[in-house]
Chain A
Amino acid sequence: MKLTVNKSDVIDVLAKVQGLTGRKSNLAITENLLIRSEPDGITLIATDLESGFEGFYPAKIEEEGTIAINAKTLYEIVRELPSEEFRIHEVENRWIEIGNRKVLYHIVGMNPEDFPDHPQVGELEMVELAANDLKKMIEKTVMIAGAPNDKRAHINGVFLEKQEGSKTPCLRMVSTDGSRLALVEQELEAETPALPEAGMIIPKRGLNEVGKFLENEERIQAGTKDNKFIVKKENETFIIRLLEGDFPKYADIVKRDRGHEIKLERLVFLKMLKRMSILSSETYKGVIFNFRENNLEITATNPDRGESKEDMDIEYLGESMQIAFNPRYFIDVLNAVEEDTVVLHLIDEEKPCLIEGETDKRFLSVIMPMRI
């Protein structure tokens, strides 16, 4: 294989695939990038055995061929190359030359035949949306990560389903770690093909990688087939293997109709929470929310470090309540909400608390208290 390619055409993708190739898997070859020559360009393939990426980039091909080369090495080399144009040439026995007139690297690749088969999906129905919108959905849901060794589908993956209804159909993603939940919706155009009714669970890890490739207003397509979730951009495709399992019934948890409704200034609340979580530690995570007449006081106690308290004015005329929460969960939500005012829906110290922006009802989070 012998070809010339422009650094600016590939440097971005080389950086973004590191997430896939950097992940340790059972096959050492997944640390490699598969590069295959095409009539007027190259196809780059990367996988971590759960998610796979394929993209096409322009290049000048002199000799056809396919190579498998360490992704990190290739990225670092290309990143530091002084020139715009550089050459990739497989000289013999898997030794690959990379460079230009002045700089030359001689790298040993792996056998491309050993590279895991990349799934081909063929024809399928897909929904269309803006890359940015999907990216926001992903960001708001994958931030809720479960414990690394928790393999349960509903903790490890995000639930995706299509909501039909009287209004415009929308895509909904729900994510949880067992103690809190985030739900985000995105409207789709009226004419959209159907997605399976039951919904699907997509690994958070895979979605996180897709997110890296989504930017700006570019239209992208998403769909599902053969137990896989597919995201297609103009010249890049992501295929993620779905998780098997059930997602818990969350409909009851996201009801807004009960309890007290309390409005708060997002930034003031966020800053207070940040200050009150300074004394938290792995062992002493909780703080106590004291709801009183028109005032919310938060107290934090850590026998190893000390105590703190702070209060802010709110609009609240219900009875006094004392509820313990992990402040980190609130901080995450408040960072994701894009409005100035948030609304808390609270029932008592044993029921979950729902938080959302004042006007934007497309994103909400539910947080379970701690028991004192």
Chain B
Amino acid sequence: MILHIDMDAFYASVEQQDNPWLRGKCVIVGGTGNRGVVCAASYEARKFGVHSAMPGFEARRRCPEGIFIRPRMKRYKEISARVMDRLRDFSPLVEPVSIDEAYMDVSGCEALYGDAEAIGRRIKEAVFQEVGLTCSVGAAPVKFLAKIASDMDKPDGLTIIGEEDVLAFLETLPVARVPGVGKQTFAVLEAMGIATLGDVKRFPEEILYRQLGKYGRRIMALAHGVDRSKVEPVREHKSASSECTLKEDTDDAALLKKRLLSQAEEVAAELRKLDVKARTVVLKLKHADFRQIARSETLPIPTRSSAVLYREAARLLDQYRLRQKVRLVGLGASGFVSSALPVQQGLFSGGEDRAENWERVDRVLASIQEKYGEGAVCRAVLRDNGGEEKE
């Protein structure tokens, strides 16, 4: 039995939980400033038609009384981590798929916790106890159905699709609700006269394959209730990055570098957390016309020093001729290797080594900030915190 746990209006709910005066109000996270998009909307705000990914100005139009809040990613990550930990109390097979969603495989736990419904209730209770937030749980024999189920009775829902009910459920399930069916696929299916998974089942598979390629086979399998994907608790991280859209387009290299420095610190922290070093540094730029480019440099010696990450990104920026203003800048690191890798030492001191040794400074700064707060210590040039420029 697979469960899909989906936190209800996550960011908005966290804000309402942390700030009681927001409860019952139209809370919209994101969409602040003149460029933002909505990250999350509380159920109250949704009544006005506001939803994630909607541009801020449109949200303000639809919900003039809405309270717009800047996202606090750190806080959401913190809550998410606590929720995932609680889930792991029930089964080790927990696969977080995003900050507010996870799959769980509870096969074999029935003896301990009872049937699907009982487990579902206990999990909802545990999550609420831990962070005071509601979630919607879907239970089904396979992953994709569990995900569809969790969506069916939001908020605070619990939907079970038993083995015996699967076929009937699939028969009338509209294809739009199937994971993997987006705008394009939906258009293609519609043109073929397919509206439900029942229709898919009756359709010749070869034509589906010709129209949709590999996904054609997958949707056919899903139409039969077949989904072999397993819940995978450990997913290997392959890259780490940090990017942000600027409040105003700019071609000021110094400003962009300031952003990159702060992003280098974030990425370095992530690398420390993952206990890896990175061989490749990537600079990402999105121009005012939305055209995006990426430039990368692979280093002979893997690193996780914020000074080295910054130096490479800054160098890539210098080498790239900015002909247009830029709306987004980002720094990424990939090509992970174990941090326990032996590192070639230098014969002479100074230069290269110094930037690499900055990793020790990173660690010390991080531990001071952890104990005394972020404002306790930081690089002088980042003192006024890019919070001003960023959206």
Contacts and interface: CB of A to CB of B under 8 A. Distances in A.
Contacts of B342: 285-286, 324, 370-372
B345 A370 contact: yes
Contacts of A157: none
Given A283-B302, A303-B338, A352 B347 contact: yes
Interface string A281-300: 00111100000000000000
Interface residues of A, number: 25
Contact of B344 (A152, A176, A283, A370): A370
Nearest to A350: B345
A259 interface: no
Interface string B343-354: 111111001100
A179 B344 contact: yes
A181 interface: yes
A285 B344 contact: yes
Residue among B279, B338, B340, B348 with max Cβ neighbours from chain A (10 Å): B348
Contacts of A248: 347-348
Contact of A179 (B302, B337, B341, B346): B346
A366 B347 contact: yes
A250 B346 CA distance: 13
Nearest to A349: B345
B230 to A, nearest CB: 25
Interface in B316-346: 337-338, 340-346
Contacts of A284: 341
B324 to A, nearest CB: 27
Nearest to B347: A368
Interface in B75-120: none
Contacts, number: 49
Contacts of A326: 344
A371 B345 contact: yes
User: How many residues of B sit at the interface, in one of the four size bands?
Assistant: 10 to 19
Nearest to A248: B348
Contact of B341 (A147, A283, A352, A369): A283
A147 B352 CA distance: 13
A372 B347 CA distance: 16
A178 interface: yes
Contacts of B300: 147
A284 B352 CA distance: 20
Nearest to B349: A248
B279 A283 contact: yes
Nearest to B338: A303
Contacts of A253: 347
Contact of A176 (B302, B337, B347, B351): B347
A366 to B, nearest CB: 7
B345 A368 contact: yes
Interface in B346-387: 346-348, 351-352
A296 B42 CA distance: 68
Residue among B279, B337, B338, B343 with max Cβ neighbours from chain A (10 Å): B343
A180 interface: yes
A326 B342 CA distance: 10
Nearest to A370: B342
Interface string A146-165: 01000010000000000000
B343 A178 contact: no
B337 A368 contact: no
Interface in B120-156: none
Contacts of A178: 346-348, 351-352
Nearest to A284: B341
A248 B345 CA distance: 16
Contact of A371 (B343, B348, B352): B343
Nearest to B343: A371
Interface string A162-185: 000000000000001011110000
Residue among A152, A179, A352 with max Cβ neighbours from chain B (10 Å): A179
A236 B279 CA distance: 46
A368 B347 CA distance: 6
A368 B344 CA distance: 7
B180 to A, nearest CB: 33
Interface string B276-297: 0001000000000000000000
Interface string A338-356: 0000000000001010000
Contacts of B344: 179, 285-286, 326, 368, 370
Interface in A241-263: 248, 250, 253
Contacts of B352: 178
Nearest to A249: B348
Interface in A100-156: 147, 152
Contacts of B351: 152, 178
Nearest to A301: B342
A330 B362 CA distance: 34
Nearest to A372: B342
A372 B338 CA distance: 12
A224 to B, nearest CB: 25
Nearest to A366: B347
A284 B341 CA distance: 7
Given A283-B279, A283-B302, A179 B338 contact: no
Contacts of A250: 347
A369 B279 CA distance: 20
A369 B344 CA distance: 6
A370 B347 contact: no
A253 B348 CA distance: 9
A181 B348 CA distance: 10
Interface in A178-211: 178-181
Contacts of A368: 344-347
B150 to A, nearest CB: 38
Contacts of A352: 347
A228 B340 CA distance: 46
27 contacts: A147-B300, A152-B351, A176-B347, A178-B346, A178-B351, A179-B345, A181-B347, A248-B348, A250-B347, A253-B347, A283-B279, A283-B337, A285-B342, A285-B344, A286-B344, A324-B342, A326-B344, A368-B345, A368-B346, A368-B347, A369-B345, A370-B342, A370-B343, A370-B344, A371-B342, A371-B343, A372-B340
Interface of A: 147, 152, 176, 178-181, 248, 250, 253, 283-286, 303, 324, 326, 350, 352, 366, 368-372
User: What are the 9 closest A-B residue pairs judged by CB atoms, nearest first?
Assistant: A370-B342, A286-B342, A248-B348, A324-B342, A368-B345, A368-B347, A370-B344, A372-B342, A371-B343
Given A250-B347, A368-B347, 15 more contacts: A178-B347, A178-B352, A179-B344, A179-B346, A180-B347, A248-B347, A283-B302, A283-B337, A285-B344, A286-B342, A286-B344, A324-B342, A368-B344, A368-B345, A372-B342
